[in-house]
Chains A and B, each alone.
Chain A
Amino acid sequence: MPELILACGILLLVVVALFLRGKKTNLHALLTLAILTASIAYTFFSWAFYHTPVTLFGNMIHSDQFSCYFRILVDVATALTVLMAMRNKSLSEKFNSEFYTFLLGAVLGSHLLMMSTNLVMVFISLELLSISSYILAGYSFTKKGAEGSLKYFLFGSAASAIMLYGFSILFGITGTLEFTAGDFVNNLSANQSALVIVAAIMAFAGFLYKIAAAPMHIWAPDVYEGSPMPVIAFLSVVPKLAGIVVLAKMTTTFATTTVSFDWQLVMAVIAMLSIGIGNLSALWQNNAKRMMAYSSIAQSGFLLIGVVCLTSQSMQAFLFYSALYLAANYAVFISLQAFEKNSIDSIASFSGTGRSFLFLSVVLLGGLISLTGIPPTGGFTSKLFMFASLWASYEQTGKTVLLWLLIFGLLNTVVSLFYYLKIPYYAFLKSPNASLSPENTRFENFLAFILVVGILFLFIRPDFLMGWLNTINFVL
């Protein structure tokens, strides 16, 4: 199991850190990369084996191709984070090795979270993910970093306490903690009351917090502004994917049991709120990190469309969208980190960077266009699949809220154009206000370039990934 590799990796890193204390070395990062590669390789080669889902540890976790796919995505995202962190000078030298330990802790948590079928596992792996993230969020060791991680911690613990209260009520009603088991479903359908709905909404609060969806999003801008760039990139992808996967699993359970209540409506409203609030607030931001925070709120709204529909077509669109979101987001954050090295962080200071950093600006433009969802990038294809699945679902059920979500999503794609293209506008069309002495960003150029090439490739040949996704067996 890749989780075993990760768990041993955490211990190995702690021990190795003892021997390398005080030495300037990249060994921790390389070791982490090796661990992640081993985990990816293991998952990849056991792909065929999980065609029929496997239940492990007395129905604690459930391993299938759906979770394998997301485990690979999470590992790839973390590997990119490690590569970013190796090039980031603002990360404290002193606690270098611990940084990678916490990173692996968060990855282990998200792996288990995506596989868990038992509320005990959901809770403890969510907390492993959260506690590692609280620590990572404060890793810049500045005043702002301390404040960001305090806010993240206080809101996060309160959200997980509310979630736990929801779990405890659900346990009382069903008498079991295995939320995919037959007992849970049967007892819920036998007792459809207001309490079930209240408890389920409370249980969702914790996940909505993790993915920074609309009512629980207020922490995101502050945390993003105070954290170092690799951590932001990590936080905007890994907890988000893990949270939405669990949300999809739990919504499936509730949607099949409490038929009298319209879960699609709730999810659609949450998705619309996230998209709307994220996009409208992003328009007014002057700081690139804060802008990306609101952008990530809006993107989780788009990702939630997959959970709204819960058809196998929408799930495929969701898988495709996640991969593209990961690639585009990392391309943007890698180039932003390269710019930050040259002390360019507010949007106005991007003036004229198109001349001094031509290559980097073009790559950044590629990532941002893909996040907006206009051709010729894979972002366009992924949004197209998402909206197509939404339309199919609307035709199937005839619920007007789905149509509203579709129209709202399309409108907001246009709105997002204005803020995503703000940085390229400054970069290419404004004249530089000061001459900069460029620092070496060759590594970042290369890394972001590969991601952007991937994005462009998936526009030309989406069937390359889609064909693979078609083989996945969707039993949530």
Chain B
Amino acid sequence: MTHTLILSAILFATGLVTVIIKRNAIMVLIGIELMLNAANLNLIVFSRNNPSLSGQFLALFVIVVAVCEAAVGLAIVLRVYKYYQTSVPDQVHELKD
């Protein structure tokens, strides 16, 4: 069981690093999907012999939510593209401190 948890830790860290380093909104979205999947992996490993299947259900709803996030997120990214001709979050800086 532990080696699957190691995989989940690696996936989570990879997702986090992707979110931080990649200068593109779609890549950040990919990183977020990796983090969500790391959580899903944990949930499924932990509910392996769970008769009430609760971990699996949370994982199922996470997948549903991920779809909604991706749909709304990509629509937002596309709109930013049309205004700015870029999806690099750093080059989007109409708003400043």
How long is the Cα–Cα vector from A124 to B45 in the complex, in angstroms? 21
A158: chain B residues at CB < 8 Å are: 19, 28, 31-32, 35
How long is the Cα–Cα vector from A120 to B43 in the complex, in angstroms? 12
Option from A120, A148, A150, A172 in Cβ contact (under 8 Å) with B25:
A150
Do the beta carbons of A153 and B72 come within 8 Å of each other?
yes
Q: CB-defined interface of B48-64 with A at 8 Å, one 1/0 digit per residue?
A: 00100011011001101
Within 8 A of B (CB), among A163-184: 164-165, 167-169, 171-172, 175-177
Option from B46, B89, B93 in Cβ contact (under 8 Å) with A172:
B46
How long is the Cα–Cα vector from A104 to B61 in the complex, in angstroms? 21
Option from B31, B36, B47, B95 in Cβ contact (under 8 Å) with A148:
B95
Option from B25, B93, B95 in Cβ contact (under 8 Å) with A225:
B95
B69: chain A residues at CB < 8 Å are: 127, 131, 153, 157
B68: chain A residues at CB < 8 Å are: 127, 131
How long is the Cα–Cα vector from A138 to B35 in the complex, in angstroms? 25
Do the beta carbons of B55 and A135 come within 8 Å of each other?
no
Q: How far is the CB of A136 from chain B (nearest CB, A)?
A: 11
Do the beta carbons of B39 and A147 come within 8 Å of each other?
no
A154: chain B residues at CB < 8 Å are: 19, 25, 28-29, 73, 89
B64: chain A residues at CB < 8 Å are: 124
Do the beta carbons of B80 and A146 come within 8 Å of each other?
yes
How long is the Cα–Cα vector from A144 to B65 in the complex, in angstroms? 26
Q: How far is the CB of A225 from chain B (nearest CB, A)?
A: 5
How long is the Cα–Cα vector from A162 to B39 in the complex, in angstroms? 9
A134: chain B residues at CB < 8 Å are: 72-73, 76
Q: Knowing A148-B95, A167-B58, A175-B46 touch, does A162 contact B84 (C-beta < 8 A)?
A: no
B58: chain A residues at CB < 8 Å are: 119-120, 123, 167-168, 171, 177
Q: Knowing A120-B58, A161-B35 touch, does A149 contact B76 (C-beta < 8 A)?
A: yes
Q: A9 on the interface (CB 8 Å rule)?
A: no
Q: A151 on the interface (CB 8 Å rule)?
A: yes
Interface residues of A, CB < 8 Å — how many?
37
A239: chain B residues at CB < 8 Å are: none
Q: Knowing A165-B39, A171-B58, A175-B46 touch, does A157 contact B76 (C-beta < 8 A)?
A: no
Q: How far is the CB of A115 from chain B (nearest CB, A)?
A: 17
Q: Knowing A143-B83, A168-B46 touch, does A161 contact B95 (C-beta < 8 A)?
A: no
B45: chain A residues at CB < 8 Å are: 172
Do the beta carbons of A153 and B94 come within 8 Å of each other?
no
Residue from B28, B65, B89 having most chain A Cβ neighbours under 10 A: B65
Do the beta carbons of A171 and B76 come within 8 Å of each other?
no
How long is the Cα–Cα vector from A120 to B61 in the complex, in angstroms? 8
B-side interface residues toward A, CB under 8 Å? 12, 15-16, 19, 25, 28-29, 31-32, 35-36, 38-40, 42-43, 45-47, 50, 54-55, 57-58, 61-62, 64-65, 68-69, 72-73, 76-77, 79-80, 83-84, 89, 92-95, 97
A-side interface residues toward B, CB under 8 Å? 119-120, 123-124, 127, 131, 134-135, 138, 143-144, 146-151, 153-154, 157-158, 161-162, 164-165, 167-169, 171-172, 175-177, 221-222, 225-226
Q: What are 17 contact pairs spanning A and B, CB under 8 A? A: A120-B61, A124-B64, A138-B76, A144-B95, A146-B84, A151-B89, A153-B73, A153-B76, A154-B25, A154-B29, A154-B73, A158-B28, A158-B31, A162-B35, A164-B62, A168-B58, A175-B50
